[in-house]
Amino acid sequence: MRSVRCMSVLHTLRVVLVFALVLPATAQLEPVEESPDAIYQRGEEKFFNGDIKGAVVDWDREIAMVPRREPHHWQRGLALYYLNEFQKGIAQFEIHQTVNGNDVENAAWHFLCVARAKGGSVEKAREKFIPIEGDARVPMREVHQLFAGKGTAQDVLVAASKNADGINLRNQLCYAHLYLGLYYEALGQPKKAAEHIKKSALDFKMDHYMGMVAQLHHRRLEVKAKGSPNFIFLFADDQRADTIGAHGNPHIRTPHLDRLVAEGFSFRENYCAGSFSGAVCVASRAMLMTGKHWMNLPAQNPGNDWGGAITLPADLTKRGGYHSHIIGKWHNGPQTLDRSFTSGSSVYMGGMVDHTTFEVQDLVDGKLGPERDAGGFSSEVFANEAVKFIKGVKDETPFFLYVALTAPHDTRNPPEKYREMYYANRPPLPENFLPQHPFRTPTTMDGRDESLAAWPRTKEVISDQLCEYYGLITHLDEQIGRIMKALEGSPHADNTYLIYTADHGLAMGSHGLLGKQNVYEQSMKSPLIIAGPGIPKGGSSHAFTYVHDLNATVFGLARITQPEGMDSRDLTPLMKGGAEMTRQSVFLPFQDHQRAIRVGDWKLHQYPRINHTLLFDLKNDPHEMKNLAEDPAYAGKREEMMTHLKAAQLKYDDKQALTVANPEPKEAVYDHSKRTLDIWQPKWIRDKYFDGRTKTNHGPAKKK
């Protein structure tokens, strides 16, 4: 087949051949920030990954840079057909005819656009059918006769099969069934069309250009036939699992999340699977997007180098035809963002934020735009964008809306009335409150999170910070309510899954800690609720789950096969009564200095640097307050749990030694002179918790 789009399996060679038709050998393009060839290539990648709109945007930009390429841009016509922009497709195929007059494929796709355009018909398509005389490819002459009304489908198949075998036969049948499928699509016979397209894409699969078009077309037909559901994924930041009223906390006001609990299914033993970084959100989000445990990500830079893993939204677009849109926080680098989402609005590229004043960017045409003022409080800004997106969806393309909220992560500065309501009616301190952590780990004596209050922690300070934390959650809850209301008032309400979770929890005074850089329950657990079509209302499960299980769960709910090689597990059977558990244990490795395993109601912590072990009976001690590791009566259980921990290490190829020959001292020594003050904390928080300190020592210098 023709070199412009068919002969070469190698993408790079195909690009070279395409533009060899367009530019004289001596032509030199003016230097630009991004070359037309690179833009073309990116557009082609988007096209075959299902981002048709993005492909057209790139190709239009390329043509604007080099206008003489437009007549040669046959691929753009295909994209316009898939976007139902049939008049523009007609114009593209007609201008292509001026530079390639012996192309049956051009005539066939032109026929499709004319037949399906407003007021179009097969009769009109035949009246305007482009005559072709010089295309000798098999079976393209018979394809032309078929579209012209002078041949039959059998003629096409006989020609494709005659005097051919092996790869040549496979190739010709790939073309034959593709164009038979397109012909029946033009005739308004979708069942026949789908049968032939499937044969072209699967039975006679070829990986040249038109073979990949057949595969794309088949995926799109499957999506349309299934009526794929939409997804709204709401991702909170630093939210403890025990901060939802309907989940048993009478001291917090979360009426909208309570309603979501009543209308959906809750997973009550949901964990973040540890972390490779003190910025636990980076690890949690990397695991969610890839479906892989962090120990199975590239070791060098797992935060924003995910190797060859295709991300959840990108795979939904490629294999499910989804429009994926991001709003809010992205803390895993621009390179992973670009390869993940179709579009985005008010994207915050970072981790820390002052909720009242920050800058965002929009993801348009595969590129982040300039930073701009967000224009409001973070939760409100992101909810505004979500409501706008939901109301703006007009076509039938399924969507995956990912809203990554920055609350209730500090800075703990909710709008004043939300903290005042809790100052006036204070929630109790955590049952496992301590003034300071009883032994040393690298993340308990210093670091940004643990510096947010002085040591020893006083009940008064922790109480105030808890009020401010609850205030952020209640304010966030109101914004969740606005998003829920927008969905309920939209045409998508009956076909949309709403998922609510958080990247991990937060200590907030538990065990003398404030942050999440530890393997205690309060820091590793987070809420998880799923609501939508077919989900049992008010249901719950105590099966062990991970945040990154949502990767496989979204694929399951979308009825798309889960990619191989993932650690994520589909939670759908738990919700629909087909299973009682997904796994026997929970493994929580944290950098190189903490390991934990939970099996049933028992949990073991191991601190390799100090040769220290904790053992808890969570059934009788859910807040991990009574260490049984040194009790002789539990020596057998300690050994059993250590065996489970070693088995988990073996499974994940975790080579971290559980003890060391020369352990560090266990005693924790707190040095106030080393407290970290980041640049995002507002003045009233600096005055209240940092004695009015102004000099910061954490965060980018340009923000100071």
Please write down the HEC assignment for all residues of 654-702.
CCCCCCCCCCCCCCCCCCHHHCCCECCCCHHHHHHHCCCCCCCCECCHH
Residue 601 near residue 621, CB atoms below 8 Å: no
Amino acid identity for residue 369 in this structure:
G
Percentage helix, strand, coil for the chain under 3-state DSSP, each rounded to 5: 45, 15, 45
pLDDT digits (tens, 9 = 90+) for 304-345: 889 888 999 999 999 998 999 999 999 999 999 988 999 999
Domain formed by 230-583, architecture: 3-Layer(aba) Sandwich (3.40)
Per the listing, tokens 């903290």 go with 419
Superfamily (CATH H level) for 11-226: Tetratricopeptide repeat domain (1.25.40.10)
Residue 436 near residue 454, CB atoms below 8 Å: no
- Rounded Cα distance between 34 and 41, Å, is 11
pLDDT digits (tens, 9 = 90+) for 43-72: 999 899 888 888 999 999 999 999 999 999
- The yes-or-no verdict on residue 16 having pLDDT over 70 is no
Strand partners for 545: 270
Which letter does DSSP use for residue 535 in this model?
P
pLDDT the model gives residue 222: 81
Residue 449 near residue 352, CB atoms below 8 Å: no
pLDDT digits (tens, 9 = 90+) for 584-621: 999 999 999 999 999 999 999 999 999 999 999 999 99
- The yes-or-no verdict on residue 245 having pLDDT over 50 is yes
Strand partners for 607: 612
Average pLDDT over residues 676-700: 95
- The yes-or-no verdict on residue 1 having pLDDT over 50 is no
Q: Which has the minimum average pLDDT: 36-45, 217-226, 359-368?
A: 217-226
- Work out the pLDDT band at 30, boundaries 50, 70, 90: very low
- The yes-or-no verdict on residue 9 having pLDDT over 70 is no
Average pLDDT over residues 206-212: 95
**What angle do the packed helices 459-488 and 378-392 form, to 10 degrees?**
10
- The yes-or-no verdict on residue 14 having pLDDT over 70 is no
pLDDT digits (tens, 9 = 90+) for 509-556: 999 999 999 999 999 999 999 999 999 999 999 999 999 999 999 999
Record: fold of 584-666: Arylsulfatase, C-terminal domain (3.30.1120)
- Rounded Cα distance between 543 and 644, Å, is 18
pLDDT the model gives residue 674: 87
- The yes-or-no verdict on residue 503 having pLDDT over 50 is yes
pLDDT the model gives residue 28: 38
- Rounded Cα distance between 86 and 79, Å, is 10
Structure tokens at 420: 């005042």
Average pLDDT over residues 238-255: 98
Structure tokens at 498: 């709403």
Structure tokens at 256: 């909208």
Strand partners for 613: 606
pLDDT the model gives residue 19: 36
pLDDT the model gives residue 410: 97
Which letter does DSSP use for residue 495 in this model?
G
Task: Name the pTM for this structure.
Answer: 0.80
- Rounded Cα distance between 393 and 540, Å, is 31
Average pLDDT over residues 686-694: 96
Residue of higher predicted confidence among 220 and 156: 156
| Average pLDDT score, the chain | 92
- The yes-or-no verdict on residue 11 having pLDDT over 50 is no
Every domain of the chain with CATH number 3.40.720.10 lies at: 230-583
Calculate the CA 372 to chain-centre distance: 24
pLDDT the model gives residue 703: 53
Output 663-667 pairs: Cβ under 8 A, ≥24 positions apart.
Answer: 663/609, 663/610, 663/611, 664/440, 664/609, 664/610, 665/440, 665/610, 666/439, 666/440, 666/610, 666/612, 667/439, 667/440
Reference 644, options 686, 689, 596, 688; nearest CA is: 596
- Work out the pLDDT band at 13, boundaries 50, 70, 90: very low
Every domain of the chain with CATH number 3.30.1120.10 lies at: 584-666
Q: Are strands 265-271 and 539-546 parallel, antiparallel or unpaired?
A: parallel
Average pLDDT over residues 638-652: 98
Q: Which run of H or E residues covers position 647? A: helix 635-651
Residue of higher predicted confidence among 519 and 222: 519
Every domain of the chain with CATH number 1.25.40.10 lies at: 11-226
- The yes-or-no verdict on residue 672 having pLDDT over 90 is no
